[in-house]
Chain A
Amino acid sequence: MKTIYKAIIPIVIIAIVVTSVFAYQYLSTEQAITLNGAGATFPFPLIDKWAAEYHKIKPNVQVNYQGIGSGGGIQQHTEKTVYFAASDAPLTEAQAANATNTLHIPITIGGVVPIYNLPGIPKGLKFTGEILADIYLGKIIVWNDARLTAINPDINLPNQAIVVVRRSDGSGTTFIWTSYLSNVSPEWKNNVGRGTSVNWPTGLGGKGNDGVAALVQQTPYSIGYVEFTYAKKNNLTYGHVQNAAGEFIEPSIGSFAKAAEYAAVTLPRGDASWSKVSIVDSLANNTQAHGAYPITSFSYILVYKELNVLPNMNEAAAKALVDFLWWAVHEGQNYAADLYYVPLPSSVVAHNEETIRLIKFNGQQIRK
């Protein structure tokens, strides 16, 4: 008998410990609210930072964001399996029809920059849109092409073939890049077009920002494009790009914010169609947009206007979600610059305030 007791005692102890852990969790997190979100990978580090900081202020609110890609985020938003989604592009008309009453909230701004690997040549090489388009069309094939040397007279460009590197995976970065190339080159617009991935005329494909960066760093005389945050964090060599005003603009938090300010003037109401919103497009012909970097884009959070449509939503969660969004577009912006994201200009914040006020639960406006 004694041996049986000996065996039972540890089992009883384990049972007590396990039960009390679960009981503690159950009791202490009774009021806990988890805000589930999914979508673009670009704002992931920022939203993740927000989640951690917001949890310090509101310990009962847990923001759980998964960076599964814009396409996946929009799909989960349409299927109403997440409280909020994030996307690098606004919903298209067709997508919006499947997810009626979706609000668009720009939460941060990103820029796409040309990076290159030219031994001995520092950052700041100048590019025009036409030149970038012709490089990616395979029409400019050497670095010392007359058009490149004409705008970079001080730099001794080598007589070497250009190795073009681009994304192989579908991405919002590619969408912004190809939107820009479509605007500056009719040939690009007609033959290649804009999209999360396109029928590339030339080049090597790298997977992800890191894949493109690795290929460019490993391949002498190559050119590629990555998100600015990525170029900055990894100390990549990036170039300046000419805007419609004719200035060669250095990519920077300041020049992206400038671009967003020019675009903010024309933003539609939060619950209207945003399918046409594009900083790249709005700057394409704006010859007055001084100091604005042309390959700039908003990143959006998507939420439903009537939160009742979500199956698991209750009033407390709805309020927590709206409070979090309000915090994200205000205090949350203070965390942007450290991570090389662009804080929203005040005009966009004001616009977002109007949009967040539109959110309702059971017909009641949540944030007044």
Chain B
Amino acid sequence: MKISQKISPFIRNLNIKSVSYLKNHFKGDDIFKLVSALFASSIFLLLGLMVYELVKGSWLSIQTFGLNFIVGTTWDPAISRIFGVLPLILGTLVTSAITLLIGVPISLGVGLALSEYAPKKFGVTVSFLVELLAAVPSVIYGLWGIFVLIPFLRDHVYPYLKAVFGFIPIFSGPIYGGGVLTGGIVLAIMIIPTVSAVMRDLFSAVPNSQREAMIALGATKWETVKTVISYARSGVIGAVILGLGRAVGETMAITMVIGNRFQVWPSSLFDAWYTMAAIIANELLEATYDLYISALINVGLVLLFVTLIINILARLIVWRALRLTMGIARE
């Protein structure tokens, strides 16, 4: 019987007896199903409302600039009042990519070390510390970035990078300390706790039978670990998406270290750049006219769509990966 069919007699018999009716005819399972369906659909409602509000707020900007908003490379609130976000989209994507390049291998290592290699007591302690790191607010990472990491990188790391790899254009140019690479490093440090905690759980959840089977076949430790990674592959990609989500949307820490320079393409990894989330946080409070505010909300809308596209692409990769493994299994 469907839930709706059960509800209508329930409403008709709305008296004291209905309590016993409820007990007899309306099982806990059904109530739970209804409630969880309600919660699940609230996600659609929330997202719908968010898109509605963002479109409403950015309507003026959409009308004024149309698609030029996305491909435009000028952000001039003072004189021409023209707004275009291509540099911000590029800045967001590139810093996120750098973040993943640095953060994912380290997270993978932390996850594997904790689940496969570390003695149990040590593993538990480090896991606790990793989870503690995940709770540090982003502004703390930003401050640490300005006062500790930037001077360190500027004086002790970047000059050597430039000396050794300076012939590659991305490692040339003036060194300020802050910039694209610094932003990527700070973001990587921020995503490592979350991503590595998820990875550790994933690897711990791989059944021991898998490991035993590999060892029984005479595999080395490293070959066994490879099987473990492969077994948890779709989850690992999920964890990477989680980290990517944080990198794309991170505001406070990135704006404190990236240098906030609006330009289409930086001259090197040491140069300053800008991201979408950062410009909203920076300029919304003192945006002084309607089109300006609308353009900033429009940035939020574009950010939402960029996140959506990244997520869809990532899902496609997962889907492809799963199909591939199944194909191999059939052979």
A interface residue numbers (CB < 8 A to B): 68-72, 74, 92, 94-95, 161, 163, 168-172, 178, 190-200, 202-207, 211, 214-215, 218-219
Contacts and interface: CB of A to CB of B under 8 A. Distances in A.
Contact of B150 (A71, A199, A202, A218): A218
Given A198-B77, A203-B261, A218-B177, A171 B286 contact: yes
B285 interface: yes
Given A168-B282, A204-B260, A205-B272, A195 B288 contact: yes
B151 interface: yes
B287 A196 contact: yes
Contacts of B75: 199
B141 interface: no
23 contacts: A71-B286, A72-B285, A168-B255, A169-B281, A169-B286, A170-B77, A170-B282, A170-B283, A171-B286, A193-B79, A196-B77, A199-B74, A199-B78, A202-B261, A204-B260, A205-B272, A205-B274, A207-B256, A207-B260, A207-B282, A211-B256, A218-B147, A218-B177
Given A168-B260, A198-B76, A211-B146, 12 more contacts: A71-B288, A168-B255, A168-B282, A169-B283, A193-B79, A194-B78, A197-B77, A204-B259, A205-B259, A215-B146, A218-B147, A218-B177
B286 A196 contact: yes
Nearest to B79: A193
Contacts of A218: 146-147, 150-151, 177
Nearest to A75: B293
A176 to B, nearest CB: 12
B286 A205 contact: no
B169 interface: no
B146 A197 contact: no
Interface string B288-320: 110000000000000000000000000000000
B155 to A, nearest CB: 10
Nearest to A211: B256
B152 to A, nearest CB: 11
Given A199-B74, A200-B261, A218-B147, A68 B176 contact: no
A195 B177 contact: no
Interface residues of B, number: 33
Interface in B235-260: 255-256, 259-260
B262 interface: yes
B178 A215 contact: yes
B178 to A, nearest CB: 6
A161 B146 CA distance: 21
B259 A178 contact: no
Contacts of A169: 281-283, 285-286
A120 B77 CA distance: 38
Interface in B132-155: 146-147, 150-151, 154
A225 to B, nearest CB: 15
At the interface, is chain B mostly helix, strand, loop or mixed?
loop
B233 to A, nearest CB: 40
Which residue among B77, B174, B285 has the maximum number of chain A CB atoms within 10 Å of its CB?
A: B285
Contacts, number: 104
Contact of A195 (B78, B150, B151, B259): B78
B147 A214 contact: yes
Nearest to B255: A207
A69 B286 contact: yes
A310 B79 CA distance: 35
B87 to A, nearest CB: 12
A171 B260 CA distance: 15
A206 B284 CA distance: 15
A69 B285 contact: yes
Contacts of A206: 260
B289 A94 contact: yes
Contacts of A172: 286
Nearest to B290: A94
A118 to B, nearest CB: 16
Closest 8 CB pairs of A and B: A205-B260, A170-B286, A168-B260, A195-B78, A69-B285, A193-B78, A199-B76, A193-B79
Interface string B76-106: 1111000000000000000000000000000
Contacts of B154: 219
A171 B282 CA distance: 9
A204 B261 contact: yes
Interface in B160-186: 174, 176-178
A192 B178 contact: no
B255 A197 contact: no
A170 B260 contact: no
Given A199-B78, A204-B272, A71 B285 contact: yes
A193 B82 CA distance: 13
Contacts of A72: 285
A207 B154 CA distance: 20
Contacts of A205: 255, 259-261, 272, 274, 282
A200 B256 contact: no
B251 to A, nearest CB: 10
Contacts of A219: 154, 176-177
A150 to B, nearest CB: 26
Contacts of B285: 68-69, 71-72, 169-170
A170 B287 CA distance: 7
A70 B78 contact: no
Contacts of B286: 69-71, 169-172, 196-197
A215 B154 CA distance: 12
B288 A196 contact: yes
A68 B260 CA distance: 21
A214 B174 CA distance: 19
Contacts of A94: 289
Which residue among B151, B255, B278, B288 has the maximum number of chain A CB atoms within 10 Å of its CB?
A: B288
Which residue among B79, B281, B289 has the maximum number of chain A CB atoms within 10 Å of its CB?
A: B79
